[in-house]
C-alpha cells in the first residue's frame, strides 16, 4: 500500500513548488505586453493596408467581391471563425500571390485567382493565409524580423513611410519559418475538410508551383514566400488521407468562370 503521509507531502511540495514558480512571473507586465501587442496589431493592420492602397489598385467590382466573399464566408462559418475578423482585399496585380497583414487583413492578387485552375485551389491558399492569421504567425514574424519597438513606433507616427513599405514587403515577399508554414498548411487542410472542400487541389496547386520554383519570374511570388512546395504538397496529401467526406463546390461553375472573366476585363 502506498504511504498516505508520503503522498500528502509530495502533493504539498508540488503545490508550493508550482505556486513559487508562478509567483516569479510578473503577470501585470505579461498582460500589459499582450494589450500593447493587440492594440499594435489592430493599428498596424490598418496602417499597412492603407500603404498598399496608395500604391495598388483595389478591385471593387461587386461580383468579384461577393464571389470571393462566398468562399471566405463558407470557410469561416464551417470553422467557427468570426467572419468580420477576416478583412478581404483583392488587388489588381499579376503576381500569383496572397498574404496576410496584422489584424486579419487578407490581400489576394487577381493573378492568384486567374492562375487557379479551380475554386478549390484558391480556397486552399485562402485557408492557408487565414491559418497564418488565426495562429498569430503574422505578428510573430514581424516581431522577429522587425522588432516590437519598431512596430509600436510605426503606429504612433514615429517611423517614416520607407519603414512601413519595408514592413509590407516583409509580409508580401519573404517566407515564414518552415515550422510555421507546415503548421499553417495542416490547419488549412482542417479548415478545408470542415468546409467540405476537397484539399487535394490545394496539394496539386503546390505541385504545379513546384515545377516552376526554379523559374526566374516575378509572377511566382507565392513560390518564393512559400518554398518547398513539392514537400508541402506531399504531406498535405498524407495528412488529408482517405477521409470519407462528401465534398461540395461553394461557387457554381458558371460563377467561377464569370469571376475570372470579370478579372480579365
Per-domain boundaries in the chain: 38-264
Contact 79, 141 (CB under 8 A): no
Using the predicted structure, report yes or no on whether residue 185 has a pLDDT greater than 50.
yes
Q: What is the four-CA torsion angle of 107, 130, 236, 221, rounded to 10 degrees?
A: 20
Long-range contacts of 158-161 (CB under 8 A, 24+ apart): 161/51
109 vs 158, more confident: 109
- What is the pLDDT at residue 238? 84
Question: Residue ranges of the alpha helices (H) in the chain?
Answer: 4-23, 27-55, 62-78, 110-114, 119-134, 137-145, 148-155, 161-173, 178-194, 200-210, 221-225, 229-240, 253-264
Q: By mean pLDDT, which of 17-31, 72-86, 181-195 is the weakest?
A: 17-31
The DSSP call for residue 58 is B
C-alpha to C-alpha distance for 191 and 198, rounded to whole angstroms:
10
The predicted model gives 74-98 an average pLDDT of 95
212-235 pLDDT tens trace: 655 545 445 555 555 577 778 888
How many CB atoms lie under 10 A from the CB of residue 241? 9
- C-alpha cell at position 211: 515545377
**What per-residue confidence (pLDDT) applies to 252?**
95
- Per-residue pLDDT tens digits for 7-50: 555 556 555 455 455 445 443 333 343 444 567 788 889 989 99
Contact 46, 103 (CB under 8 A): yes
pLDDT at 158: 64
Per-residue confidence band for 251, with pLDDT thresholds at 50, 70 and 90: very high
* Whole-number pLDDT of residue 35: 46
Edge-to-edge strand ranges of the sheet holding 105-109: 87-91, 105-109, 98-100
Q: What are phi and psi of 218, to 5 degrees?
A: -70, -15
Q: Which whole number is the average pLDDT over 200-210?
A: 85
**What would the mean pLDDT of 135-160 be, rounded to a whole number?**
80
* Cell of residue 206, nine digits: 503546390
Cell numbers for 240: 488529408
Q: Which residue has the higher pLDDT, 212 or 92?
A: 92
Read off φ and ψ for residue 181, nearest 5 degrees: -65, -45
Tens digit of pLDDT for each residue in 100-135? 999 999 999 999 999 999 999 999 999 999 999 999
Q: Give the phi and the psi of residue 101 in degrees, each rounded to 5.
A: -110, 170
The structure's pTM equals 0.81
Amino acid at each position: 500500500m502506498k504511504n498516505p503521509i508520503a503522498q500528502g507531502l509530495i502533493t504539498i511540495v508540488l503545490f508550493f513548488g508550482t505556486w513559487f514558480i508562478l509567483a516569479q512571473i510578473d503577470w501585470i507586465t505579461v498582460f500589459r505586453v499582450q494589450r500593447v501587442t493587440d492594440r499594435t496589431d489592430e493599428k498596424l493592420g490598418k496602417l499597412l493596408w492603407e500603404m498598399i492602397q496608395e500604391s495598388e489598385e483595389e478591385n471593387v467590382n461587386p461580383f468579384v467581391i461577393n464571389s470571393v466573399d462566398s468562399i471566405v464566408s463558407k470557410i469561416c462559418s464551417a470553422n467557427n471563425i468570426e467572419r468580420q475578423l477576416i478583412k478581404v482585399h483583392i488587388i489588381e496585380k499579376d503576381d500569383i500571390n496572397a498574404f496576410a497583414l496584422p489584424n486579419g487583413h487578407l490581400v489576394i492578387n487577381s493573378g492568384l485567382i486567374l492562375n487557379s485552375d479551380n475554386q478549390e485551389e484558391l480556397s486552399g491558399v485562402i485557408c492557408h493565409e487565414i491559418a497564418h492569421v488565426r495562429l498569430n504567425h503574422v505578428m510573430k514574424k514581424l516581431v522577429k524580423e522587425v522588432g516590437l519597438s519598431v512596430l509600436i513606433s510605426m503606429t504612433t507616427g514615429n517611423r517614416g513611410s520607407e519603414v512601413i513599405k519595408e514592413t509590407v514587403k516583409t509580409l508580401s515577399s519573404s517566407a515564414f519559418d518552415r515550422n510555421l508554414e507546415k503548421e499553417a498548411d495542416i490547419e488549412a487542410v482542417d479548415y478545408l475538410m470542415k468546409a467540405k472542400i476537397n484539399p487535394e487541389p490545394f496539394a496539386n496547386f503546390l505541385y504545379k508551383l513546384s515545377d516552376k520554383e526554379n523559374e526566374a519570374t516575378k509572377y511566382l511570388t507565392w513560390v518564393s514566400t512559400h518554398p518547398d512546395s513539392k514537400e508541402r504538397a506531399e504531406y498535405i496529401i498524407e495528412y488529408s488521407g482517405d477521409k470519407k467526406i462528401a465534398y461540395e463546390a461553394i461557387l457554381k461553375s458558371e460563377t467561377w468562370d464569370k469571376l475570372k472573366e470579370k478579372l480579365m476585363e
